[in-house]
Structure 1
Amino acid sequence: MGWRSVTLNHSYKFMRWIVFALLFVNLVLFAWFQTAGRPAVSPVPAGGTSMVEEGARLALVSEVSRQQLMARQPPQSQPTKPKPEPAAEQLCTLLGPFAEEYQGQDIVERLQALQVDGSLREIEMEGEMRYWVFLAPLNSRREAFRKLRELQAAGVDSYVIPKGSLANGISFGIFTEADRAESLLAELRDQGVDAQSREEPQTYLERWVVLAPGAAEKLAEDFWQQLQAEYPQLDRRQNLCAEVVGD
């Protein structure tokens, strides 16, 4: 009986320590679950406004300077500037025409003495309208000459066009009067020739002294009067610089 009593007493003490240990473990786990994962709360400042830290620190607007606020604002798109309007095409003054080159060169030298820019140029001018009667270009030069022999054998005056937009075509003549061109065209078609006609402006070269834009305004009226006295037929006009000044 004595031995059994001692054994029971030891068992009772051992079970009591196990209960205490389990209770302590439960308390520790309960405290950990209550506090784990919650963000730390900073103390309330004197102004009564709390600040919560979660990642980066939050700042009051009153604590940020004006320069910092401006830096944090998204960049504003710059207003688009209106495209400048294209400049008006410049006008050059033309003096002429001159039958001889030395006459125009003399005017250029006078202008240079007055420090006025001017140059002598040959300018292509349009004359009277011409009317061209022709046969449309053939596939090759060889075929064009074969057709030419057929036409000449039939008594039709013609020749092969050597170059240009109508190269390898057959020309029947160029006229200054539209009636004559229409008469020949009708005659050829009566003979079975599929002829055509078109208007061609007659061009020729003239010598003109070209003054840069604004240069004519630098010359005094006395200069123009003297020039007109020496060259009674002298013409003064304006034209687009791009059309009369080469590259």
Structure 2
Amino acid sequence: MRWIVLALLLANIGLFAWFQATGRAPAMVATAERLPGTGEGETVRLVSEVPAEQLAPAAAKPEPDPEPEARGESLCTLIGPFEEAYQGEDVTERLRALQLDADLRELEMKGQMRYWVFLAPRETRREAFRKLRELQAEGIDSYVIPDGSLTNGISFGIFSEPERAENLAEELRGRGHRVRTREEPQTYLERWVVMPPGEIDGLAEEFWSQLQSDYPDLGRRRNLCSEVAAD
């Protein structure tokens, strides 16, 4: 047994001397890791062989925009719409009888997008009508815009298709008129019963079912209170 141990010791000393004489270093144990996405039987590479960009942690996904309530914005409940004012008043009174805060309002709703072809507003109404007479003398259908952000401008029409608006604009530009186009959402008024945040929680489901029985087209939605505030 002693000779075996002595032989192994001499062999190790000889091997170490050989490494020193040749300038080679003993092999070191390398740390290895399985690359993401590799399964059983797939290649395992040394950490030193892996590109740096693959070792970098994955970029964090952007956080989704918080809900309005998380941003501190209050959401009101809307019940409606009502074709006739007396219908909205009836529902308002029923809710108030239950000690719930409810208010019937006419809200401006956005409809289909429209495309307006126009000339920029003139300094005065007199100048606007002077320009209108020139256009009508050329056989161009137009009118003076009486109010709004384009007061004293000249309108050539409002279209539901952008292609029609652009075609007319190009035709008028070809005749020397510096017309413009812009998108203009169509708006209309609807009657809705507005309830402040939390009030809908006091509305029993049986009561809501009765309302829908009396008004089959009745719906409810939530909207920012700032957008449905009373004037």
TM (norm. structure 2) is 0.67
Partner of 2:32: none
Partner of 1:193: 177
Alpha-carbon shift at residue 191 of structure 1 (Å): 1.1
Residue 155 of structure 2 corresponds to residue 158 of structure 1: no
Query: Which is richer in helix?
Result: 1
Partner of 1:73: none
Query: 4+ residue stretches of structure 1 with deviation over 6 A?
Result: none
2:206 to 207, 213, 222: 222
Alpha-carbon shift at residue 216 of structure 1 (Å): 0.3
Partner of 1:110: 94
Paired residues, number: 162
Amino acid at match of 2:215: Y
Residue 138 of structure 2 corresponds to residue 143 of structure 1: no
Alpha-carbon shift at residue 157 of structure 1 (Å): 0.5
- In 2, distance between residues paired with 1:99 and 1:158? 34
Residue 159 of structure 2 corresponds to residue 175 of structure 1: yes
Specify the structure having the higher radius of gyration (Cα): 1
Amino acid at match of 1:110: R
Alignment of 1:67-82 (within 5 A): none
Partner of 2:168: 184
Please list every run of 5 or more consecutive structure 2 residues that lacks an aligned counterpart in the other structure. 1-69
* 1:95-142 CA distance string (max 9 Å, x none): 000001111111111111111110110000001001000011122222
Amino acid at match of 2:127: E
Partner secondary structure for residue 117 of structure 2: strand
Whether the 8 Å contact between 2:105 and 2:230 is mirrored in structure 1 is no
- In 2, distance between residues paired with 1:87 and 1:153? 57
Alignment of 1:1-247 (within 5 A): 88-247=72-231
Percentage of matched positions with identical amino acids = 67
TM (norm. structure 1) is 0.63
- In 1, distance between residues paired with 2:123 and 2:199? 52
Alpha-carbon shift at residue 193 of structure 1 (Å): 1.1
* 1:48-99 CA distance string (max 9 Å, x none): xxxxxxxxxxxxxxxxxxxxxxxxxxxxxxxxxxxxxx98121110000000
